Structure 1
Amino acid sequence: MAKPLEQFHGSDLEKIEQIYGIKKENITSFSANVNPLGVSFRLRETLSSHIDAITSYPDREYTSLRNAISQYIKASPSHILVGNGSTELISLFIQIRHPKKALIVGPTYSEYEREISLGGGRSHYFSLKEQSDFSLNLEELCESLHTDIDLLVLCNPNNPTSSIITRSDMRKILDVCKQNDIFVMVDETYVEFAEHMEEITSIPLADYYNNIIILRGISKFFAAPGLRLGYAVCGNEDLIKEINQKKNPWTINSLAAIAGEIMFGDDEYKQQTTNLIHSERTRICNILASCPNIKVYPPSANFVLVKLLKEGITSSDLFDAAIQKGLMIRDCSTFPFLDNHFIRFCFMMPEKNDELLKVLLDVMK
């Protein structure tokens, strides 16, 4: 049985194809954390009718797009920045703030540390504890926020733990950061999948705090990573102005901008996604909880972190068993504070979820 030669990102289907000899078209990626419904229903029906938009430059200010986002997230258009995926906005923010010492709450997405390092800064981690199911200890975090730290990075819901920070707790964090002149970057890539999003999102806080920037995109919830459309919300007008001055013009192409406007208004799609993820998240976690060799950490996003408790079985073994069936999960052994007994997978359509559950339970029984 072939063993994975490296860790794979959810988009690395070509590498999987080369190593395992499985055509990428036959692989279901439970690693990419993308909405299993595919792109917006309304977008599918209408985008082609806007093809002539590519004959002219987009509006430099992306006014219509920002207004559509404003209606979707209930925030002022003047607080909204758009970019070529949230990655571009993270990079621009780091370049401008130029943090010398950042505190990252982890285990989490590695791109934050990479961007901080490229900007010449150092990253330190505040560890989420396994014994607390990777939920944040608010008191301990606040005690760690000193004046020598100039940036706090939070992913909410967090990847890969699927744990959350409520808005009320985020406000307490912001108060402490305000006292210590610390800026806070919050990545809300997965917040739309959360059951009680209105209690989690930090976007309303941008009206009251000038030391927070919230990042979102369309890659996961709207299943459109190829469009490269991201946005940020920030109430700090000086920072917004500086980012806009540093940004290259027209980094979002005309069709991507129009697609965003269409997707953000597709209420039927949003509701069906919410219903599907809630239903499958509950069903799958209940099934996994019945297996004594599996530890499930309570998920709030569209993915779940699992610990393998069976002696002699590692995350690499389970990755291998799943990929042989054309099912790609995430081996989490490369995340800080996780070892080779942790896996992560997202919730797909019920029949595919059943296929993965069978593999997982067969290996772990």
Structure 2
Amino acid sequence: MSVNHGANLYDLSKKYGFSKDDFLDFSSNINPFGASQLAKENIINNINQVSIYPDPSYVNLKASISGYCNCSTENIVLGSGATELISSFIETINPKKALLLSPAYSEYEKELKKAGCVIEKYYSKSENNFKIEVSKLIETINSNKYDLVIICNPNNPTGFAFNCNEISLLLKSISSFVMIDETYIEFTNTTEFSSTNLVDNFSNLFVIRGTSKFFSTPGIRLGYGLISNSKIRDNINSHLDLWNVNIFASLMGEVMFKDLNFINNTIDVMTNQRNLLINELSKFKNLNVYDSQGNFILCQIKTKNITANELREKLIPNRIIIRDCSSFDGLDEYFFRVCILKPEDNLLLLDKLNEILN
């Protein structure tokens, strides 16, 4: 993992002499409570399926996703992680000119550059608390005739999210394709903010989700995309490898999207802990703390007597890792991001930040 995608615990373990399991990684945005127990048991109970090929149509997996996202099974595209689907979609539509809402995940720009696409950026501003007015965004898109607009919703790293009504208005008002990355949507009110229920009605919409963050399963590499445009969907599927989702990813997915206890408990705890962290961090006189709909919080050091990277380095000997956000285009060296971990870990973070910053 590059420095642009969070901490490399293996390298840090060697450098500082800690076990990688000892670190409290506030940089990775992964659900700290682990994966669904029911999903893990489904693998254990079906371990002998390692000797057979997965169902090439993934009927059970798609049915589980369809119920979870309230969309048609025929509009589901499966990938080995969300990044594969980002790449496949951009390669398929081959945009000549794209608008990227920034700051943003670096893989979008990387894949656009591979396609030789002209990239323009629409920056959210700290002075506006990183909020974006959809009417102004629509005006910009229509005046520049973009082939593709890329939105991370909620945005990583700012935490801002468009609600479903705003996305619906956007889709009705423009002719561009819109790719919405909903990697972090499940940490917020999906009824209010998710676009999955719009997919069946808008042919210019592609919604991408992964399972690494909310379901805490980065190791199985399972992602899925939702799109009703049959021409593009069939083209994407024709370029994906047969059995690109392994048998264990399929087995977990068939169960975890239906595990309502896991889903609801995660939402409750993470929402409460996010509110606590935002409230407590906002008490620091030398921090600007931005509201978030994700499982992470963006902060800005106001005093300028310590950079985010220097703060990160001071925390590492305490086995705490935060995300220096200077690599995000549009953010300077005083921005950092923390994700939500377990209650006791969040309290420890606050204590150590207080020691260093106050």
Same-fold status (TM-score > 0.5):
yes
What amino acid does structure 2 have at the position aligned with 1:71?
A: G
Most deviating of 22-31 and 265-274: 22-31
Tell me by how many angstroms 1:140 deviates: 2.2
Partner of 1:198: 191
Partner of 1:3: none
What amino acid does structure 2 have at the position aligned with 1:259?
A: M
SS of equivalent residue, structure 1 residue 324: helix
Contact 1:60 1:249 in 2 (8 A): yes
Asked if 1:346 corresponds to 2:328, the answer is no
C-alpha separation in 1, matches of 2:181 and 2:317: 33
Q: Which ranges of structure 2 fall in alignment gaps of 5 or more residues?
A: none
CA deviation vs aligned residue, 1:277-313 (integer Å, no higher than 9, x gap): 1110111111111121111100111100011112311
C-alpha separation in 2, matches of 1:271 and 1:363: 35
Partner of 2:203: 210
Contact 2:78 2:224 in 1 (8 A): yes
C-alpha separation in 1, matches of 2:3 and 2:317: 16
CA deviation vs aligned residue, 1:75-123 (integer Å, no higher than 9, x gap): 1101111110111111111111111111000101010000111122122
CA deviation vs aligned residue, 1:9-65 (integer Å, no higher than 9, x gap): 335112222444433222121111000110112123332111121221111111111
SS of equivalent residue, structure 1 residue 216: strand
Partner of 1:153: 150
User: Do the aligned partners of residues 93 and 361 (structure 1) sit closer, same or farther apart at CA in structure 2, a change above 3 Å counting?
Assistant: same
Superposed, 1:296-335 pairs within 5 Å as: 296-335=289-328
What amino acid does structure 2 have at the position aligned with 1:161?
A: T
C-alpha separation in 2, matches of 1:97 and 1:8: 26
Asked if 1:189 corresponds to 2:183, the answer is yes
C-alpha separation in 2, matches of 1:147 and 1:8: 30
Tell me by how many angstroms 1:271 deviates: 1.1
Contact 1:106 1:336 in 2 (8 A): yes
Asked if 1:98 corresponds to 2:94, the answer is yes
User: Do the aligned partners of residues 11 and 47 (structure 1) sit closer, same or farther apart at CA in structure 2, a change above 3 Å counting?
Assistant: farther
What amino acid does structure 2 have at the position aligned with 1:281?
A: R
Contact 1:9 1:330 in 2 (8 A): no
Partner of 2:283: 290
C-alpha separation in 1, matches of 2:101 and 2:120: 9
What amino acid does structure 1 have at the position aligned with 2:224?
A: Y
Tell me by how many angstroms 1:143 deviates: 1.8
Contact 2:290 2:299 in 1 (8 A): yes
State the TM-score, normalized to the length of structure 1.
0.94
Asked if 1:238 corresponds to 2:231, the answer is yes
Figure out how many residues of one structure are paired with residues of the other and give that number. 356
User: Do the aligned partners of residues 129 and 250 (structure 1) sit closer, same or farther apart at CA in structure 2, a change above 3 Å counting?
Assistant: same
C-alpha separation in 2, matches of 1:343 and 1:200: 25
C-alpha separation in 2, matches of 1:148 and 1:16: 45
SS of equivalent residue, structure 2 residue 5: coil
CA deviation vs aligned residue, 1:139-183 (integer Å, no higher than 9, x gap): 2211211454110000000000011001111112112322xxx10
SS of equivalent residue, structure 2 residue 297: strand
Asked if 1:23 corresponds to 2:16, the answer is no
Asked if 1:175 corresponds to 2:172, the answer is yes
The counterpart of 2:110, out of the listed 97, 109, 114, is 114
C-alpha separation in 1, matches of 2:42 and 2:58: 20
Q: Which ranges of structure 1 fall in alignment gaps of 5 or more residues?
A: 1-5
Alpha-carbon RMSD across the aligned residues, in angstroms, is 1.4
C-alpha separation in 1, matches of 2:254 and 2:20: 31
The counterpart of 1:80, out of the listed 76, 80, 93, is 76
Partner of 1:37: 33
What amino acid does structure 1 have at the position aligned with 2:28?
A: A
Contact 1:8 1:330 in 2 (8 A): no
The counterpart of 1:273, out of the listed 242, 266, 270, is 266
Tell me by how many angstroms 1:8 deviates: 5.5
State the TM-score, normalized to the length of structure 2.
0.96
Percent of aligned pairs with the same residue? Answer: 36
C-alpha separation in 2, matches of 1:62 and 1:42: 19
C-alpha separation in 2, matches of 1:287 and 1:147: 42
Most deviating of 307-316 and 215-224: 307-316
User: Do the aligned partners of residues 220 and 191 (structure 1) sit closer, same or farther apart at CA in structure 2, a change above 3 Å counting?
Assistant: same
C-alpha separation in 1, matches of 2:181 and 2:353: 30
C-alpha separation in 2, matches of 1:263 and 1:202: 21
C-alpha separation in 2, matches of 1:280 and 1:251: 36
Contact 1:304 1:345 in 2 (8 A): yes
What amino acid does structure 1 have at the position aligned with 2:340?
A: F
